[in-house]
Amino acid sequence: MTTTVERPVLAPPNWNPLSLWFSDGWTTTKRNLIKIKRTPDMLVFAVIQPIMFVLLFSQVYAGAIAVQGTDYVQFLMAGIFAQTVVFGSTFSGSAMAQDLKDGIIDRFRSLPMSSSAVLVGRTNGDLVLNTISMIIMMATGFLVGWRVNSSMGEFFAGLALLLLFSYAFSWVMALLGMSVRSPEVINNASFIILFPITFISNAFVPIETLPEPLKTFAEYNPVSALVQAARELFGNEGSAPVPDVWTLQNPVATVLIGVVVLLVVFVPLCIRKFAQISSR
Amino acid sequence: MAIIEASGLTKTYKSKTGPVHALSGLDLSVPAGTVKAILGPNGAGKTTVVKILTTLIRPDAGTAIVDGINVLDDPKAVRSIIGVSGQYAAVDENLTGFENLEMVGRLYHLGGAASRRRAQELIDLFELTAAGNRPVKGFSGGMRRRIDLAGALVFNPKILFLDEPTTGLDPRSRMALWGVINRLVDNGTTVLLTTQYLEEADQLADSIAVIDDGKVIAEGTSDELKAQIGGHRVVIALVDAADGAAAREVLARYGAGEPQVSSDGRGLDVAVTDGPPALQHVLADLRSAGIELHDAGMRRPTLDDVFLKLTGHKADLAADENEDEKQELVK
């Protein structure tokens, strides 16, 4: 106890607000990247689950579900990609709830940092995790016969669209996590949302096979648009006619509009919620 | 001049069993460069005061000014001059002790090099050098607590808020923390701490505010408070309970108030204004009366004594869960 602790107060450097925002966002992102590295169960979930989905669906349903103009594996992959990135957003919800429970939210909120930084770092962490999942899934898909039949540019556009949607959806889950406040509850609650929006869609079956009113729900479900967009950009759409609704006829535009709407609504809601929460 | 000025702070939490009044018109004033202790039992509202002053929650009514800044108007300006350590260790489990502190430094905008240097200094100061590079996940409760306290000191703050800082610390770490606090104060830092222990308030604080049911019920220096409750207490234990009445008479002769008798009739104590001479007199009188003793001595007043005197009820330690429950409800 002989070390000197007292030194002159370090004056914060006079950075401009934008570089402060980037610095805070990077600091909290790094925190979440370290968490990914040190939480093996999270990595396992992000890596093993997509492999399982690809293998199970492609081997179990391939014989039973007929898709016009292409085989089921080609049709399936975009659906699995979309499902995985949407499910991946749950991490933001459970992580925010866990942070609240652990009390570290109080530490962050008492620091002179950007009020959105914790959320930015959290959603960035999800983005990295989803990118890892995506690479693993694509490799697994390739092994079971999935092929991209489009240009390099279209392929990357499809990848970017999937990740963009997952990023926007992470903010929805983050708000849910801060509202529910219990990591256990969030996992259960999120499935109530995630199962319908991923399964009542064109992800695993052609939309025209669905009965009403599920068919109408699926046609306007943003996840359907995401799947349709990815299928088209990867060149896996087959020859079946696309349902004659605007959202599926213009899937890329629909996804982009959906992303903007989600971000415009949920980013401010999240930041406002974050400014009001306190642990315990 | 007061660097912390709170007046009329009111906060009510909703709960299933009806509203819980955490604060009901609390006033507090802390002069710059001094240490103020908020002393009170669990559920008295200590944590709520700290959370309001550190911008974590908003009061329902009342004003709080920290270093001339209204916490409601400009919370960010307040955050850039304070250090906070809450009642529970606010650390990231997956980061090492060092990484936790470095992160806090960066979020105070100290820059990378200064943050790392500062993190290492604090790790050494709190004697966590051996464990500093392991994830906090594997730390004991006391070690987590120390990392959290170090987090409050990363940026030498103008004002330091410590909510029950020594709860869960071993005596050695407690002494270390007291040392750090004293040195910070020597350098001009203002400290507001909460505690359940009169001894701690006594050791550290220039002034103590005793709170109960969300209000300040007494305020003053440790000596002033102790004078109110009669300073030390003389405590004796009889060999034979039959001597009780005679012993009680002796204690009453030198005591400042009514002697208290334990339920088995063999333990007696009384508040005295001047400890050692009173003890000597009591012992001499007991000896000449031929009363045999198991034990005799003086003790300092405890929080319970303070409360009994000020409120007529004991500091309700059974209300342990109260504060937690209230915090549960903070939305």
pLDDT in tens, B217-247: 888 888 788 777 667 888 888 888 888 788 7
Domain B230-300 has CATH 3.30.70.100: yes
Instruction: Kindly list the distances between the CA atom of residue B131 and the CA atoms of A34, A223, B97, B126, in Å, as whole numbers in the listed order.
Output: 18, 47, 7, 11
**A143-174 burial code (b ≥16 CB/10 A, e <16):** eeebebebeeeebebbbebbbbbbbbbbbbbb
Q: How many CB atoms lie within 10 A of CB A113?
A: 25
Over chain A, what HEC string results?
CCCCCCCCCCCCCCCCHHHHHHHHHHHHHHHHHHHHHHCHHHHHHHHHHHHHHHHHHHHHCCCCCCCCCCCHHHHHHHHHHHHHHHHHCHHHHHHHHHHHHHCHHHHHHCCCCCCCHHHHHHHHHHHHHHHHHHHHHHHHHHHCCCCCCCCHHHHHHHHHHHHHHHHHHHHHHHHHHHHHCCHHHHHHHHHHHHHHHHHCCCCCCCHHHCCCCHHHHHHHCHHHHHHHHHHHHHCCCCCCCCCCCHHHHCHHHHHHHHHHHHHHHHHHHHHHHHCCCCCC
Lowest-confidence pick of B46-55, B150-159, B162-171? B162-171
Closest CA to A150 of A252, A253, A241: A252
* B110 in A contact zone (CB under 8 Å): yes
pLDDT in tens, B295-329: 888 887 776 777 777 776 665 544 443 444 444 44
CA distance B114 to A10: 9
B94, B163, B322, B326: best mutation site toward chain A, by most A Cβ within 10 Å?
Answer: B94
User: B2-227 and B230-300 share one CATH topology?
Assistant: no
A-chain residues within 8 Å CB-CB of B187? 6
Considering chain B, what is the average pLDDT of its residues? Answer: 83
- Please give the pLDDT value at position B314: 61
Is it the case that residue B291 has pLDDT exceeding 90? no
SS3 state of residue B20: strand
Assess whether the previous peptide bond of B59 is cis (omega < 30° from 0). Answer: no
Q: Cβ distance B305 to B262 under 8 Å?
A: no
Say if the Cβ atoms of B153 and A7 lie within 8 Å: no
- Chain B residue nearest residue A3, CA to CA: B125
Domain ranges of chain A: 33-274
| Confidence class for position B110, pLDDT limits 50, 70, 90 | confident
B-chain residues within 8 Å CB-CB of A12? 80, 108-110
Average pLDDT over residues B1-20: 86
* A278 in B contact zone (CB under 8 Å): yes
Residues in chain B: 331
Closest CA to B101 of B71, B75, B77, B124: B124
SS3 state of residue B169: coil
Sign of the C-alpha dihedral computed for residues A64, A67, A71 and A73 taken in this order: negative
Give me the architecture of the B2-227 domain, per CATH. 3-Layer(aba) Sandwich (3.40)
CA distance B68 to B2: 9
* B148 in A contact zone (CB under 8 Å): yes
CA distance B215 to B11: 11
- Please give the pLDDT value at position B326: 41
- Please give the pLDDT value at position B161: 93
Domain ranges of chain B: 2-227, 230-300
**Shortest CB distance from A12 goes to which of B80, B151, B153?**
B80
* A100 in B contact zone (CB under 8 Å): no
- Low-confidence residues of chain A: pLDDT under 50: 1-8
* B143 in A contact zone (CB under 8 Å): no
Residues in chain A: 280
* B169 in A contact zone (CB under 8 Å): no
A1, A24, A276: best mutation site toward chain B, by most B Cβ within 10 Å?
Answer: A1
| B159-163 and B82-85 beta bridge pairing | parallel
CA distance A77 to A196: 19
A-chain residues within 8 Å CB-CB of B91? 102, 104, 107
* B80 in A contact zone (CB under 8 Å): yes
* A265 in B contact zone (CB under 8 Å): no
CA distance B309 to A259: 64
Predicted TM-score (pTM) of the model is 0.82
Sign of the C-alpha dihedral computed for residues A203, A209, A211 and A217 taken in this order: positive
A196, burial (CB in 10 Å: exposed 0-12, middle 13-18, buried 19+): middle
B-chain residues within 8 Å CB-CB of A277? 330-331
CA distance B170 to B318: 23
CA dihedral A141, A146, A152, A158 (to 10 degrees): -70
Q: Which two tokens stand for residue A201?
A: 């869609």
pLDDT in tens, B19-55: 888 889 899 999 999 999 999 888 888 899 999 999 9
pLDDT in tens, B81-106: 999 988 777 899 899 999 999 999 99
* Residue % of chain B over a pLDDT of 90: 26
Is it the case that residue B290 has pLDDT exceeding 70? yes
- Please give the pLDDT value at position A188: 83
Q: Which two tokens stand for residue B233?
A: 């207490």
- Give the bridge partners for B195, in sequence order: B39
Q: Cβ distance A157 to A232 under 8 Å?
A: no
- Please give the pLDDT value at position A5: 47
A277 Cβ partners below 8 Å, 6+ apart?
A100, A105, A109, A178, B330, B331
CA distance A67 to A227: 15
Q: How many CB atoms lie within 10 A of CB A70?
A: 16
SS3 state of residue B146: helix
- Please give the pLDDT value at position A56: 86
